[in-house]
Amino acid sequence: MNQLKERGMKIVFLIAACTSVLAVAFICIFLFANGIPAIGKIGVADFLFGETWRPSNDIYGILPMILGSIYVTAGAIILGVPIALLTSVFLAYYCPKRMYPVLQSAVSLMAGVPSVVYGFFGLVMIVPTMQQITGRDGSNMLTASILLAIMILPTIVGVTESAIRSVPGSYYEGSLALGATHERSVFCAILPAAKSGLIAGVVLGIGRAIGETMAVIMVAGNQARMPAGLLRGIRTLTSNIVLEMGYAADLHREALIATGVVLFVFILIINLAVSLLNRRAENGN
């Protein structure tokens, strides 16, 4: 009986694993089968490096959206990663025991808030504040970066705190024994040892930021033009797909699917690059 149960469970696990792989494979097949022909019709150079997106004239250049996605994601990472890492360090080594459950619950609650709620918060609070501070339209690149920085906090904190806590206590104790202070032991012994987990958290944050749609649509201005500064409106790849897919047809629809291909490849390149950095770091250690 036990052997039958084990075999049965192995089959169940195998089916679950194959289902996940097949789901990803079908998504890839759909995207590339429908997107690559459109890129061929438009022209690779015209599609990827064209600065004008004008479907009414069959002009499909997505460079403004590519740069918009990169700039907004970079801004979110610059603003959000330091705060997230310091929050993780505080929760792991500085937070009082009575306060920890409250803060942990708050971080978990942030992860469960729908994107549209974040977008509404940005539209009602951040956009008017930016408008008062700058004297310009508050729906711009900086506003989108600030909102995305808030949204990626729970993702990064959840992974990085676990990575920090997984470091053996002997690292911290050995650092103290050598005369290091509490702060120096945490930042110079614990954090380097948890580097792979910290990088994984940052990668997940990048994936969340670059794939976000609804919140960005509500605060970024949605202007399909080359980015002209932090205080100007932009459009990201995801926003471009959502805004126009409802009425797109023929080559226009295919161009939007091709935009999804570019986004998919972009995220894949980021993940591969970070994996290579992790391997180099592990080999170097």
Q: Which residues contact 208 (CB under 8 A, 6 or more apart)?
A: 151, 152, 155
From residue 165, how far is each of 22, 99, 276, 278 by CA, in Å?
34, 17, 24, 19
Q: Residue 64: which of 231, 203, 233 has the closest Cα?
A: 233
Structure tokens at 157: 């904190």
What pLDDT, on the 0 to 100 scale, is given for residue 144?
92
Per-residue pLDDT of the chain (285 residues; tens, 9 = 90+): 667 777 878 888 889 889 988 988 888 888 888 888 888 888 888 888 888 888 888 888 889 999 999 999 999 999 999 999 999 999 988 888 888 899 888 988 888 888 889 999 999 999 999 999 888 888 889 999 999 999 999 999 988 998 898 888 888 888 888 888 888 888 888 888 888 888 888 888 888 888 888 888 888 888 888 888 888 888 888 888 888 888 878 888 989 999 989 888 888 887 787 777 667 666 655
Q: Residue 273: which of 209, 206, 190 has the closest Cα?
A: 206
Other beta carbons less than 10 A from residue 34's beta carbon: 16
Q: Residue 222: which of 237, 240, 235 has the closest Cα?
A: 235
From residue 86, how far is each of 68, 152, 179, 252 by CA, in Å?
28, 14, 23, 45
Instruction: Report the distance separating Cα 163 and Cα 15, nearest Å.
Output: 30
Instruction: Report the distance separating Cα 148 and Cα 113, nearest Å.
Output: 13
Instruction: Report the distance separating Cα 189 and Cα 173, nearest Å.
Output: 10
